[in-house]
Structure 1
Amino acid sequence: MIRRLSLLFLLMFSTSSHGQTLMVLGDSLSAGYRMPIEQAWPSLLSEKLREKGKNVTVINASISGDTSGNGLARLPGLLNQHHPDLVLLELGANDGLRGFQPQGIEANLRQMIHLMKQQHTGVVMMQIRIPPNYGKRYTQMFSDIYPRVAKSTDTPLIPFFMEDIITRSEWVKPDGLHPRQEAQPWIANFMATQLQPFL
């Protein structure tokens, strides 16, 4: 009995000390666009999660300019390499900015979620919104992709952090699309709060 309890304690201690691995699969919004990678919000996220009692290793697999198609192509290799417990899916903005067909974007997101669930990897998707460059109809069609995919695949959908950033001009780069370095700690804290329930 004592031996059994000791083994149980050892297993529990090993699991808690090892923690979890979170992989951020995104584009320039997560890759630290034109700033040192250590200042990008994913690099600050582990500490913010630790403050909330979560022991999490964060892998930033984001690449500036990536589309949902690029993410889909890279995903199998990333899953095999890192074996994450949870993936934050932050992709689609570049598709929308280039006017890609919403059906193709949706198909890519669905396929990525399917691949992750096949490997028993948790996934959380971020709502993405784009400026109305292609008109109100396209912008709405694009935005509608995310809640539809989330609902049909039973995938948690978290808010788009840029909706808060964009209201503070001192936090936005001159291109009007990317957060400045000064905004990264706020984003990291926001993301830690959003992701905590899934870790």
Structure 2
Amino acid sequence: MRGLNFFVKAWQGVARRLVADCSVWLAALLLAASIPAQAAAPAKLLVVGDSLSAEYGLARGSGWVALLSERLAREKLAIEVVNASISGDTTAGGRSRLPALLKTHAPKVVVIELGGNDALRGLPLAQTRDNLAAMVRSAQATGAKVMLAGIQVPPNYGRQYTEDFAKSFEDVAKAERIALVPFLLKGVGDRPDAENWFQGDRIHPLAKAHPLIVDNVWPTLRPLIQASLR
């Protein structure tokens, strides 16, 4: 009988420990259930550009990148736009900044709008192409989809240079197999009354031109965004 009592008491101790352990686990589960799940970080679209994208001379929120954010909201495309554009930036500057931007934001889509300041400074076209291609490859290496926004220079740069500069964007887009908007300022810089659509410097578009810029970008950019969100 003494042995039986010892056996019973031993099992009672085990049972108490099991109940205590279960109580701890149950409390932990209840606590976890009471903590709201953190929302997943939104997908991001990164714009790396110059003054054309940095709202130079414009009221805040009236540039094409801000208007793009508004259109994405209307279209219910859940992607956050990060505008990393800097007035005066060149392709070399964008190339040096891009790795940190990719690491910080981990974008699903990258828009590269650079090159105009290269032309203004008379930089070699080969250098511009090399910088653009390097940026594209860096973004692609992270899995991001890339769109290149081309720009054109005025005819006073000379016909050959003007043509070669515009073709630089086409060459990079073709070589790297990425989406291209051939001329970001189509319908603005090439219209008969273009002088009425630019600020006094005749380089930076007025606010009224920026909805047209979004229209230029949208048909090419939207499929990339949709594909990145699948």
Match of 1:179 in 2: 205
| CA-atom RMSD in angstroms | 1.8
Tell me the alpha carbon deviations over residues 19-49 of structure 1, each in whole angstroms, 9 at most, x when there is no partner. Answer: 5311111001100011233222211212212
Match of 2:178 among 140, 143, 155: 155
Distance 1:126 1:105, change over 3 A: same
How far did residue 132 of structure 1 move? 3.0
Q: How far apart, CA to CA, are the structure 2 residues paired with 1:149 and 1:91? A: 13
How far did residue 64 of structure 1 move? 0.6
Q: Percent identity?
A: 38
Aligned pair count?
Answer: 184
How far did residue 142 of structure 1 move? 1.1
Question: CA contact under 8 A between 2:181 and 2:216: conserved in structure 1?
Answer: no
Question: CA contact under 8 A between 2:169 and 2:182: conserved in structure 1?
Answer: no
Read off the aligned partner of 1:86 and give its amino acid letter: V
Distance 1:140 1:93, change over 3 A: same
Flag the structure with larger Rg. Answer: 2
Match of 1:89 among 107, 112, 130: 112
Match of 1:106 among 124, 129, 146: 129
Q: How far apart, CA to CA, are the structure 2 residues paired with 1:153 and 1:159? A: 15
Q: Does structure 1 residue 55 correspond to structure 2 residue 95?
A: no
Give the alignment's TM-score, normalised by structure 1: 0.85
Question: CA contact under 8 A between 1:23 and 1:84: conserved in structure 2?
Answer: yes
Distance 1:94 1:26, change over 3 A: same
Question: CA contact under 8 A between 1:45 and 1:189: conserved in structure 2?
Answer: no
Match of 2:48 in 1: 25
Q: How far apart, CA to CA, are the structure 2 residues paired with 1:118 and 1:161? A: 25
Q: How far apart, CA to CA, are the structure 2 residues paired with 1:57 and 1:189? A: 19
How far did residue 181 of structure 1 move? 1.6
Which runs of 4 or more aligned residues in structure 1 lie more than 6 Å from their structure 2 counterparts after TM superposition? none
Give the alignment's TM-score, normalised by structure 2: 0.74
Q: How far apart, CA to CA, are the structure 2 residues paired with 1:159 and 1:141? A: 13
Read off the aligned partner of 2:113 and give its amino acid letter: E
Greater relative contact order: 1 or 2 (C-alpha under 8 angstroms, separation 6 or more)? 1
* 5+ residue gaps, structure 2: 1-38, 226-230
Match of 2:222 in 1: 196
Question: CA contact under 8 A between 2:147 and 2:179: conserved in structure 1?
Answer: yes
Q: How far apart, CA to CA, are the structure 1 residues paired with 2:195 and 2:157? A: 23
